[in-house]
Each structure stands twice: as structure tokens, then as C-alpha cells.
């Protein structure tokens, strides 16, 4: 896939085929993602790749927590209210993604079912958790963000799909416990990873972007 086409066509995937991803494919993907830039080449990302029985075990734990409305406790506290313009984009995103599967504002139960799909990794055979050392700062979170975008674009170029999921990172203690990861590691983000199922209803949704005039200022 040509690079600019890949950047233009990458999108979050929220429905996957159960087809397992070969180990060599995963190795290639993470090797390429590690070409990301990082401050002073510190490469702060620590990646847990969860498949097979462990994936099913962890999904059940997370689904039980989420469906019983257990309060979330992100390692990095969730943001509060955004500035008005950002809140408006978020509102439109929510409206459009539910409209794409035929749900309106009042379909609270169906919306909750759709939310819970996060904790089943949208059917993906692979869940990826990105940790970094707890002593690190926002500078390293920035580096992890670059790594995750490179990962998402590389996966797309390889015929795979990803969905980044802050929702899943709301239960970091359960994830660390299940994977045997010590609590000196901060969970930054998780991703579902697999072969996209383009017939899945949630994949009908395509997000939009603001035009350049809204966010670019040229100074001559």
C-alpha cells in the first residue's frame, strides 16, 4: 500500500474476523512500529500482546467489570470537560457512530451493548496493551503516542485493523494481575488488533475531520 493512501484510509476498526494473526506477522508489525521516533531514542514503550486462551480469559474479566459498572480507575486520570469546540466534535462523533448502526439518543440499552463490545475487543483475536515505566512523564506518553500511530498505520498497510481503546485501560489493575505485570508499569493505551470484518455494523462508521482552515495558521 502506498504511504499516503495508507494515511488517508486508516480508520478505527470495530469488528474483526476471528482469524488468528501468524506470529511472523506480529513480529514484523512490532519491529516496524519500533522505528517510531522517541525523545533521545529512549523507546519507552513496553508491549503486551495477548492472544488465544489468555485473550479470552482477560476479555471475560474486563467484560464482567464493565457490565457490572465497576468504576474505572485509569493510571492516567481521565480528562474532564474539554473546551467547547472539542466537546462539540465529541458530541458529533458519538451521534454519528451510533447513527451508523441505527441507534438514536434514546436507545440507552443498545448503546450500552455497543460500549461493552470494547471489552470483547470487538471480536479481535489479539489485544495489545502498551505500558511504560511509572516514573516516566508526559514526554514519554508523547513517544508512546507516536509508536501507537505507527503501529496503527503499519497494521493497516499489512491488511490488519486496529482500534485504540481508552475504555479498556480503565481497569489497569485487573489487566496487570491477569498478565502478571508489576504495578511499576503504567498502562497507557490498549488496542484491538486483527483482520477487519467490513460487514460488521460498527465498521459502517467513518469519522470526519475539520478542514485545514480550522486548525492551521500560516505566518509569512
Q: Which residues bind ligand FMN (CB under 6 A)?
A: 11-12, 14, 93, 118, 163-167, 189, 207
The dihedrals phi and psi of 130, each to the nearest 5 degrees, come to: -110, 120
State the nearest-atom distance from the C-beta of 93 to ligand FMN, in Å: 5
User: What is the Cα–Cα distance from 87 to 133, expressed in whole angstroms?
Assistant: 31
Beta-carbon contacts of 204 under 8 Å, excluding residues fewer than 6 positions away, are 100, 101
State the nearest-atom distance from the C-beta of 187 to ligand FMN, in Å: 12
State the nearest-atom distance from the C-beta of 86 to ligand FMN, in Å: 12
State the nearest-atom distance from the C-beta of 58 to ligand FMN, in Å: 16
Alpha helix ranges (H) inside the chain: 3-9, 23-33, 52-67, 84-99, 108-116, 138-157, 172-179
Beta-carbon contacts of 30 under 8 Å, excluding residues fewer than 6 positions away, are 47, 49, 151
* Per-position b or e across 165-193, b if 16+ CB within 10 A of its CB: bebbbbbbebbbebeebeeebbbbbbbbb
State the nearest-atom distance from the C-beta of 25 to ligand FMN, in Å: 21
Residue 187 near residue 175, CB atoms below 8 Å = yes
Residue 128 near residue 190, CB atoms below 8 Å = yes
Q: Quick one: 8 or 81, whose CB is closer to ligand FMN?
A: 8
Q: Quick one: 93 or 95, whose CB is closer to ligand FMN?
A: 93
State the nearest-atom distance from the C-beta of 125 to ligand FMN, in Å: 17
Amino acid at each position: 500500500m502506498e504511504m499516503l493512501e495508507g494515511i488517508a484510509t486508516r480508520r478505527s476498526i470495530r469488528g474483526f474476523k476471528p482469524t488468528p494473526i501468524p506470529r511472523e506477522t506480529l513480529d514484523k508489525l512490532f519491529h516496524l512500529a519500533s522505528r517510531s521516533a522517541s525523545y533521545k531514542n529512549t523507546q519507552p514503550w513496553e508491549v503486551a500482546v495477548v492472544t488465544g486462551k489468555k485473550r479470552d480469559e482477560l476479555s471475560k474479566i474486563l467484560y464482567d467489570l464493565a457490565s457490572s459498572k465497576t468504576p474505572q480507575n485509569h493510571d492516567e486520570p481521565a480528562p474532564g470537560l474539554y473546551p467547547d469546540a472539542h466537546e462539540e466534535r465529541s458530541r458529533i462523533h458519538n451521534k454519528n457512530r451510533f447513527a451508523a448502526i441505527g441507534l438514536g439518543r434514546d436507545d440507552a440499552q443498545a448503546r450500552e451493548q455497543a460500549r461493552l463490545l470494547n471489552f470483547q475487543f470487538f471480536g479481535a483475536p489479539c489485544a495489545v496493551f502498551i505500558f511504560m515505566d511509572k516514573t516516566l512523564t508526559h514526554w514519554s506518553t508523547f513517544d508512546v503516542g507516536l509508536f501507537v500511530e505507527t503501529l496503527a498505520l503499519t497494521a493497516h498497510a499489512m491488511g490488519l485493523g486496529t482500534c485504540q481503546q481508552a475504555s479498556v485501560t480503565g481497569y489497569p489493575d485487573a489487566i496487570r494481575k491477569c498478565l502478571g505485570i508489576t504495578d511499576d508499569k503504567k498502562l497507557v493505551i490498549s488496542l484491538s488488533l486483527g483482520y477487519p470484518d467490513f460487514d460488521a455494523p460498527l465498521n459502517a462508521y467513518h469519522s470526519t475531520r475539520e478542514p485545514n482552515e480550522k486548525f492551521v495558521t500560516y505566518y509569512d
